[in-house]
Amino acid sequence: MLTSKMWIGGEWVDAESGKTFQTINPATEEVIAEVPLAGDADVDKAVKAARAAQPGWAAMPLMMRSMVLQKMAAAMREHLEELAQLDSLEHGTPITAARMWAGLAPMLLEYAAGACRTVVGEQIPIDHDTIAMMRRDPLGVVGLIIPWNLPIVVTCAKLGGALGVGNTAVIKGPSINSMSMLKLAEVFASVKELPPGVVNIITGPGGAVGGAIVAHPGVDGIGFTGSSETGKKLLATASQTVKKCSMELGGKNPSLILPDADLDLAATTGTNMQFNNCGQHCSSVGRYYVHESVYDEFVAKLVDIANKVVVGDPADEKTDMGPVVSKEHYDEVMHYINSAVAEGAKIVAGGGRPANVGDKGFFIAPTVLADCRHEMEAAREEIFGPVCVVIKYTDNDDLIQLANDSRYGLCTFVYTKDIAKGMTFIEKLETGNVFINCHILTNEMGWGSDVKDSGLGREGGVTGIVDFTQQKQIIIRYSQDHQMPHH
């Protein structure tokens, strides 16, 4: 069994209480590691270390901070296999997919290293002898609370921009992926140009440790990715100290399959995120609306894809899909499948435990639920699992109204060969991201926008970096004989 320590102020430390907790392999249900169980005292120590480091880090020339981010990315590239193996071990990600995600993470740091140089202020015209400027300053200390589905990628997406503009960070990694996060801390600790306290990584449960970070008066801003329910609680806490928050939350993303859609494209693109990482992606398709004229054909294509997915040991190079992340999440996903059946849906693929995996591990077969209805629980709530919810619509249905009738607003997908028709959907859809005949959310240039219960702020790109700054107005009058206006 592995053991490790947290990284605070450039030092490796146990929890002040001495308490630890275990991480579990979701494929075997075996204990992987004992990691520190942080508490309020550890959060306070990490925040104080970040506050002590922040003035010097912000005062460092921008090009130097950019260079440090490049060094951090280079250090990650030397340890990609270790990061991928830990992700596969702790999270159940098939090793081939884990390597892909590990390889993306340093690219996000490298992008931020360049993009942070483009963040500039503005000049405001006020009077002929007065200069008014809006400059962008760092928030100060930011708390970054990381989800369990893509921990290394999301950490780098948030951290690169936050550091690039002069903030320091306290990072709360997900409990499930604690060893992956502490390995990342070890990688960053090897970068001698990174001053102690600029990055601090602690471990512990989200409710206690994440809540303590958000409540801490020494934390100036929050970057959070997770469920809408948790996000709302953290926003309520953050309001007590009026912290700036950027939050990417849940989704129940509709995919609109028009009669003229390329069905192969729609099915393969949708299921790529539906079954990749067990559907544990915020941007996976939550509900397919398929026109009645192509409904049966489209369902058959989903079933064919689902039946060909190789489910098994995440360490096996041939595995396409491993287990879901925990017993708790397994029970939740199965609840949605069972509730859909109870409400009249039909299981046409999967629906339970695959026959080939034995009785250990939190495995769920790739599942297709046909004959679903818009009002079903499984069609309205985020499942976050390998489950396709397929709904038939007719010419009499208002497709835009169906797509918008959700408390979520992360993504909408539109499939049609008539691009002009597809473009007419853009203004009407209540969503932060619209994809026409594609699915491209996770990239360094523009991660995504969120509306409704799916969040606020922006992740990735220059606008995501700007979210970690605050504006300061400066007005300078340079004339000595300025006449005040008469009233």
Q: Are 262 and 415 in contact (CB under 8 A)?
A: yes
Contact 32, 326 (CB under 8 A): no
- Kindly name the residue from 110, 381, 444, 459 that is annotated as catalytic: 459
Answer yes or no: 158 catalytic.
yes
Identified catalytic residue from 45, 48, 71, 158: 158
Question: CB of 294 within 8 A of CB of 417?
Answer: no
How many alpha carbons lie under 13 Å from residue 44 in its C-beta half-sphere?
4
DSSP letters spanning 321-384: B---S-HHHHHHHHHHHHHHHHTT-EEEE--S--TTSTTSS-----EEEEEE-TTSHHHHS---
Question: Can 248 be counted among the known catalytic residues?
Answer: yes
Active site residue 444: no
Catalytic residue among 282, 372, 388, 411: 282
At CA 247, angle to CA 245 and CA 253, rounded to 5? Answer: 155
Contact 177, 326 (CB under 8 A): no
Under 8 Å between Cβ of 140 and 54: yes
The residue from 248, 381, 382, 444 that is catalytic is 248
Question: 131 - beta bridge partners?
Answer: 125, 476
User: What separation in angstroms does the CA of 466 have from each of 163, 167, 244, 249?
Assistant: 11, 12, 12, 19
Catalytic status, residue 156: no
* Nearest-angstrom CA–CA distance, 64 and 41: 32
Q: How far apart are CA 216 and CA 227, in angstroms?
A: 21
DSSP-derived pairing of the beta strands 244-248 and 141-145: unpaired
E strands present in 253-321: 253-257, 285-291
Residues with catalytic roles: 158, 248, 282, 459
